[in-house]
Amino acid sequence: MEKVEFNVMTQALGENGSPVMITQSEYMRRMKEMANIQAGMSFYGEMPDMFNLILNSDHKLIKEVLMKKKVLVRQKLPQYSRKWMLSINNVMS
């Protein structure tokens, strides 16, 4: 997928809602369409396609994935904090 960007965010959409939703800005979609028609708007045609990837934070599957990720981050955080403190001490001395 060339020239595609995703903005990932979480949003509470209810337990029975879809776990994932993908949306596109109506403004950018229209500008890119017009760039294909009008030569003076080629700037918009060169821009990447941008989509919003919305994770439903209320959905069981997303909760499970986010919790696992949170546990992994908490496990690695002390290791990175130690390295950061050592690098700060080296700079200060």
Tell me the average pLDDT across 67-75.
Answer: 86
Candidates 86, 90, 20; CA nearest to 56 is 20
Q: Which of 7-16, 22-31, 41-50, 53-62 has the lowest mean pLDDT?
A: 41-50
Q: What is the pLDDT of residue 65?
A: 92
Tell me the average pLDDT across 27-48.
Answer: 78
CA 37, 39, 41, 46 torsion-angle sign: positive
Whether 63 shows a pLDDT value over 90: the answer reads yes
Tell me the average pLDDT across 55-69.
Answer: 93
Which strand (E) or helix (H) includes residue 73?
Answer: helix 60-92
The per-residue pLDDT of the chain, averaged, comes to: 83
Q: Are strands 49-56 and 20-24 parallel, antiparallel or unpaired?
A: antiparallel
Compute the distance between CA of residue 34 and CA of residue 42 in angstroms, rounded to an integer.
9
Q: CB atoms < 10 A from the CB of 55, how many? A: 20
